[in-house]
A and B are shown apart, each in its own frame.
Chain A
Amino acid sequence: MTSVQLGWMPKYGSLFPAVVFFLALAVLPVANLIFLSFMDISWSGGVVQREFVGLENYAALGDDPLLKAGIVNTLILVVVATSCQVLLGLALAIACSSLGHSSRLYRTLFILPILIPGIIIGAIWRLMYNFQFGIINQGLDLLGIPAVDWLGSPHLALASVIVVDIWHWTPFSFLLLLAAVEGLPKDVSEAAKVDGATAWQEFRRVSLPLLWPAIFMTFIFRAVIAFKVFDEVFLLTSGGPGTATEVISFTIYQRFFLQDNPGYGSAISVAVIFSVALIIAIALQLQNRREATR
Chain B
Amino acid sequence: MSDIVQTKRRMPTDKVLLHVAMIAAVIITLGPFVWIALSAFKTQIVLLMGDITFSPVSYNFDEVLFDRRSTYPQNFLNSLIVAGVSTTLVIVIAFLAGYSLLRMNWPRWILNAFLVWAMLFNLVPPVSLASAWYELFRTVNLSIDLVALTLAHTTLNLPLALWLLISFFREVPRELEEAAFVDGAKFLTLLRRVIVPVMMPGIVATAVLVFIFSWNEFPVALALTNNKTATVPVAIAKYVQEEEIKYTQMAAASVLSAIPALIALIFGQRFIVKGLTAGAVK
Contact = CB atoms under 8 A, between A and B. Distances in A.
Interface of A: 1-4, 6, 9-11, 13-15, 17-18, 21-22, 25-26, 28-30, 32-33, 36, 92, 94-100, 102-103, 106-120, 123-128, 130, 132-133, 135, 138, 167, 171-172, 175-176, 179, 181, 184, 186, 189-190, 192-193, 197, 199, 202-203, 207, 217-218, 221, 224, 227-228, 230-231, 234-235, 248-250, 252-253, 256-257, 262, 265-266, 269, 272-273, 276-277, 280
Interface stretch (B21-29, B54-62, B65-73): B21-29
Nearest to B245: A126
Contact of A29 (B30, B129, B218, B233): B129
Interface of B: 1-8, 15, 18-19, 21-22, 25-26, 28-30, 32-33, 35-36, 39, 47-50, 92-94, 96-97, 99-101, 103-106, 110, 113-114, 117, 119-129, 131-136, 151-152, 154-155, 158, 162, 174, 177-178, 181, 187, 212, 215-216, 218-219, 223, 232-234, 236-237, 239-240, 247, 250-251, 254, 257-258, 261, 264-265, 269, 272-273, 276-277, 280-281
Nearest to B9: A98
Nearest to A9: B187
B154 A21 contact: yes
Contacts of A265: 131
Contacts of A117: 215-216, 218, 232-233, 236, 257-258, 261
A21 B240 contact: no
B265 A112 contact: yes
A interface, over-half SS: helix
Given A120-B233, A123-B240, A256-B131, A109 B29 contact: yes
Contacts of B133: 25, 29
B4 A203 contact: yes
29 contacts: A2-B177, A3-B178, A14-B100, A15-B100, A18-B114, A22-B117, A22-B158, A25-B154, A28-B136, A106-B22, A109-B29, A115-B272, A117-B216, A118-B216, A120-B258, A123-B250, A124-B33, A126-B240, A128-B32, A133-B48, A175-B273, A186-B2, A231-B219, A248-B125, A266-B132, A269-B128, A272-B124, A272-B125, A272-B128
Contacts of B15: 99
Contact of B125 (A9, A124, A227, A277): A227
A198 B271 CA distance: 37
B23 to A, nearest CB: 8
Most buried by A among B127, B135, B178, B236: B127
A36 B135 contact: yes
A16 B160 CA distance: 18
Most buried by B among A13, A14, A192: A14
B interface, over-half SS: helix
A81 to B, nearest CB: 16
Contact of B49 (A15, A112, A133): A133
Nearest to B30: A109
Contacts of B162: 18
A137 B276 CA distance: 35
Contacts of B127: 228, 230, 249-250, 252-253, 256, 269
B125 A22 contact: no
Nearest to B26: A109
A29 B22 contact: no
Nearest to B181: A4
Most buried by A among B18, B132, B135, B216: B132
Given A4-B178, A116-B216, A124-B254, A98 B125 contact: no
A218 B126 CA distance: 20
Contacts of B247: 127, 130
A257 B131 contact: yes
